[in-house]
Structure 1
Amino acid sequence: MSQSLARALDVLDLVSRGIATLDALAEEVGVHKTTVLRLLQTLEQRGFVGRDSSHRYHLGPAVFALAESALDARDVRTAAGPALRELAAETGQTVHLATYQDGVVTYIDKVESRQPLRMYSRVGLPAALHATAVGKVLLGALDAAELDRVVSAVPFERYTERTIGSAPELVAEVRRSADRGWAEDHEEHETFMNCVGAPVFGADGRIAAAVSVSVPNVVLPYEGVLGLLPSLLAATARISAELGAPASSIPTATLPGASAPAAPKGSA
């Protein structure tokens, strides 16, 4: 990779993280301001960055267009779209689709709820591994050694009193979630929000993504959110089928209070 290209990518990454002034960018990149200014001017001409009246830089429309194209190119997002919209319409709540890569869980699609109070999230941003239902679901796809490696790097930021605070706790919760076929975020990321999540399986029989439903506790109590699991599991079963997952690779889930595993509604 050429030095100029590497520096331009470094500048773009820094701008995406909120480092917005020429002085700060030059300091972070470690080069003279004139060099960074030339890079910024090129990026601005191509629409990758913009500049406000106070000369602070921000991401430009070209970045978002590329991100949208990249997300659309992912088969799982295309396959999941109809089921996500139907799940959101059926429950009236916010629905997320997330994937895992290299220790990071990222929201790749979202259908907003009709409620005025909603979970804050954005497509393209990472989800907290230890404090979200999708994070726990996707960690459940890792083998023991990889799970330990990834969990050891989690900073365990304390969002609420219920947030998991250590690696052993998280590993135990991930395994419990995998065993029953779904995960929860019981006021662990936001005190007013509960979520349930379930895995989506790909054609290779492995977990390819996770879907979650997020509900403010003023709309439904925790027990009511658990009552949405059959609808969630039906949606993930449908998406898995769209991706070509073998029926034999999709385990049945154990619902709260059930004495035996229950197949997702609408699954074969």
Structure 2
Amino acid sequence: MAARNHTPRSSVERALRLLEAVDRRGFGARADELAEEVQLPADHARRLLRSLVREGYLERLDDGAYVLGGALAMLGQANREQLVHSRLVAKMTSLRDELGAAVYFSRYADGEVNVQAVVDGPMTPSVHEWVDFRATGHASAIGKCLLAQLDDDGRRDHFSRHPAARFTSRTNVDTRAVLQRLDRHPTTVPMLDLQEYAIGTVCAAVPVTAGTTVGCLAFSLPVEEAYRLKETAETMAAKAAPVLLALTV
């Protein structure tokens, strides 16, 4: 029987193949999937993956998936977007568990409300996006929180493209009144959505600013748990710093 090749060179080559496989998978893959893709025995692949995690070249998420790690940022910026996303999701997952609520990260980019990450679970379901979030600047906590960070011209431009529409009986469709509320809303106070976007769900959002980013962190609760809204919003605001740090690699 031929001797198994475990030379340093062969181990490095296999580790590189695993890194390449993780990179191709975009937002992560499990050990058995990676082992199959690079045609390695599962136990050997797991040993190499543990080594790559230990050295910082990979990160293992809470769901067991592997993504590229922060050490690769020292080798180049080609994978910066994925690195930021994986760190962001990891911090949001911890926050979801602490709040007991689905958590959202959103940005205002290219003139649109853009929900970039949602972390939910069986016990913390996210709100059903029955209307595109891009059209909810006047109603959703996310949309209002993002628009509140724009100047008056930016808000008016947004509403010229996305007129206020009625989603529920609680939705404010008076654009002038919405603009006044956005202008007067204190930046230190969470923005709320009290069934203005969807019946049965309440939400809160706080600004998250990193450089020129207009962003926000939000959570949603079933209306039966509306009594938790204020306390949970205060906790989220206090815990926003780790999420902000995750945006910088």
- Could you tell me how far 1:75 is from its partner in structure 2? 6.7
SS in 2 for 1:73: helix
Instruction: Give, in whole Å, the separation in 2 of the partners of 1:137 and 1:226.
Output: 16
Give the partner amino acid of 2:142.
V
Give the corresponding residue for 1:184.
192
Q: Does the Cα contact within 8 Å between 1:197 and 1:212 map onto a contact in 2?
A: yes
Which residue of structure 1 aligns with residue 98 of structure 2?
90
* Normalised TM-score (structure 1): 0.56
User: For 2:82 and 2:142, how far apart are their aligned partners in 1?
Assistant: 18
Partners of 1:117 and 1:74 lie apart in 2 by 25
**Kindly, what percent of the aligned residue pairs are identical?**
21
Could you tell me which amino acid in structure 2 is paired with residue 99 of structure 1? R
**Helix, strand or coil at the partner of 2:181:** helix
What is the identity, as a one-letter code, of the residue corresponding to 1:211?
A: L
Provide the residue aligned with 1:73 in structure 2. 81
Report which of the two structures shows the higher radius of gyration computed on alpha carbons: 2
Residue matched to 1:166: 174
Shift of 1:120: 0.8
Equivalent in the alignment of 2:110: 102
User: Alpha carbons of 1:74 and 1:136: their partners in 2 closer, same or farther (altered >3 Å)?
Assistant: farther
Q: Which runs of 5+ in 1 are unaligned?
A: 1-64, 245-268
Offset at 1:125? 6.2
RMSD over aligned CA atoms reads 3.2
Say whether 1:225 aligns with 2:225. no
Shift of 1:191: 1.4
Q: How many residues align?
A: 175
Q: Does 1:198 align with 2:202?
A: no
Amino acid at match of 1:115: M
SS at match of 1:231: helix
| Structure 2, gaps ≥5 residues long | 1-24, 29-78
State the partner residue of 2:239. Answer: 235
The higher relative CO (CA closer than 8 Å, separation ≥ 6) is in 2
User: 2: distance between equivalents of 1:117 and 1:81?
Assistant: 16
The amino acid across from 1:135 in the alignment is G
Q: 1:84/1:117 Cα in 2 relative to 1: closer, same or farther (>3 Å)?
A: closer
Q: CA deviation at 1:113?
A: 3.6
For residue 142 of structure 1, report the CA deviation from its aligned partner: 1.2
Q: What residue number does 2:51 align with?
A: none
Partner of 1:134: 142
Q: 1:108 to 1:164 in 2, by over 3 A?
A: same
1:179 to partner: Cα distance:
3.5
